[in-house]
Amino acid sequence: MQIKVSRADGAASMRIGFTDQRLTAHGGLAAWSVYVQEIGLREQLRERLPHRPSSPNAYDPTDTALGFIGGILCGADKLARVAHLAHDPAVAEVLGIEAVPSQSTLSRFFAGCTRAACESLSGLHAWSLRALPERAEGYTLDLDSFALVHEDGHQQGVRVGYTRKGLKPCHRPIVAALAEASQVAHFWLRPGNTACVSGAATFLGDTLARVPASVRIALVRADSGFCSASMIAELEQRGLAYIMTAALRSPVQALCRHDDSAWVKTEVAGLEVQEVAHEGSRLIVVRQRIAERPHGGGKRLLEVPGYKFQALRTNLPASTDALAVWRRYNGRADIENRIKELGTQFGLKGLCCRSFWATEAACHLAICAYNLCVGLQRRLGSTSRAELVNLRWRLFSCAAVFSHAQGRATLKLAVATQRARSWWLALLQRFTQPDHPCDAIDGLYARSPRHRVVSPTSTA
């Protein structure tokens, strides 16, 4: 058939037909498939998944899991949207699976996951950390709890709990992440009416037991929701350094109301500190003058207008002065970015099954996809970490044609310029030749002729 297309020089006609060629909009996932084959993801999934199908016609459970992860990478945030990827006639070949699973297949797959299966799948996060290098100064472990809002509230574990939007039906996960690596070390899903600190000490112990021996935890950071006697005792017993915000309750507010003589000025304009001993640790109170630091963190007190206050509890030695403690804690804010990325780009906000453990299993696979995306960029030598939305545009969303040319599976990427093709060749050769020069994710801005193209071997 013909349609009319509006052009600057007037309307033009265009013919529309159909093709039997196997085309995919996600040919760039070939780089992902090479990477997960190299690190042995399929073997890890086979070891950890509980499914043991007896029918010879059943899908391999590892194919279902890999298809789900592939759907997440392509932008799906619900099981139905993962299944929609089956309309792409070649993406299953690119992912190396038999077929993209349907919604009903995915529902049955996750319904077969029990608590024991979720505990096994959670080991994928620690497994993904094994490639991290040792650091003489150790790694920083950040803890946080957040809400996954599910308005219908009909699934297991969805309870009314506190969220940024008020009291809403939700789940309340707890997560541990390594700040220097931007990777998730551990994750638990919890009912929505769970308090931040509930089970936090056990979660911390579970996390430390799972991380590889090469990943030495030197500092733990958390917000005021975790600053409890049980958590402090757990950290002290394990000999871990920590920095946590303390709630601005009456004893701390009394310090906030001290006159100017009690406050010590710092090299940061508008920021002053005072420090006291508190239950065997250091309590550092920070005040920031709003006029000089309008975007500074902290809370306002009606009794002391014009300032924002923040209290930090730590067991770091006195050689780390109060300002240095404040600066070290500020890096914890990056875990909020990781949580936001997991929710909006890896589907955690939309993954909610009828069974609580099915939901947790789906979350574990989505977080596994996140960790491996970070690992893929590290493997390619990228100097900066790109979020998934950028990976899709720069890497995964590359149109391609799949065929069996002369009896051999062939994927032809639709890459127009010679320099962009050289970039792709350099990227793929990186897996077979580790020392091959590659500008990795940072170099793929070659899509538009208006931008200067940088070749993979260029030093520009």
Tell me the pLDDT tens digit for each residue of 362-414: 999 999 999 999 999 998 888 788 899 999 988 999 999 999 888 888 999 99
The predicted pLDDT at position 452 comes to 36
The CA angle 197-203-209, to the nearest 5 degrees, is 155
Name the nearest CA neighbour of 176 among 132, 218, 228, 221.
221
The predicted pLDDT at position 453 comes to 33
Cα 30 from Cα 402, distance rounded (Å): 11
**Beta partners for 309?**
287, 299
- The distance of Cα 185 from the centroid of its chain, to the nearest Å, equals 10
Name the nearest CA neighbour of 255 among 272, 275, 227, 279.
275
- The distance of Cα 427 from the centroid of its chain, to the nearest Å, equals 23
**Beta partners for 160?**
169
Only one residue has tokens 């608590």, namely 115
3 state SS of 347:
coil
- Please give the structure tokens belonging to residue 373: 């995306």
CB 82 within 8 A of CB 101: yes
Cα 323 from Cα 328, distance rounded (Å): 9
Burial class of 321 by CB neighbour count within 10 A (0 to 12, 13 to 18, 19+): middle
Per-domain residue ranges of the chain: 24-110+383-414, 123-342, 418-460
CB 45 within 8 A of CB 38: no
- Please give the structure tokens belonging to residue 14: 């265009």
Residue predicted with more confidence, 404 or 289: 289
Q: How many C-beta atoms surround the C-beta of residue 117 within 10 A?
A: 20
Domain 123-342 has CATH 3.40.30.10: no
Which uninterrupted H or E stretch holds 305?
Answer: strand 304-314
Cα 427 from Cα 418, distance rounded (Å): 14
Residue 361 has pLDDT above 80, yes or no: yes
Name the nearest CA neighbour of 125 among 74, 56, 182, 77.
182
Taking the whole predicted model, whether its pTM rises above 0.85 is answered as: yes
Name the nearest CA neighbour of 352 among 193, 198, 189.
189
Alpha-helix residue ranges (DSSP H) falling in 211-314: 229-237, 250-256
Confidence band, pLDDT 50/70/90 cuts, at residue 437: low
Range of lowest pLDDT (93-102, 207-216, 351-360, 380-389): 380-389
Which uninterrupted H or E stretch holds 412?
Answer: strand 408-413
288-299 burial, b if ≥16 CB within 10 A, otherwise e? bebeebeebebe
Residue 441 has pLDDT above 60, yes or no: no
Name the nearest CA neighbour of 72 among 371, 399, 388.
388
CB 22 within 8 A of CB 401: yes
The predicted pLDDT at position 9 comes to 81
Residue predicted with more confidence, 365 or 439: 365
Beta strand pairing call for 241-246 and 217-222: parallel
Residue 303 has pLDDT above 80, yes or no: yes
* Mean predicted lDDT score pLDDT of the chain: 90
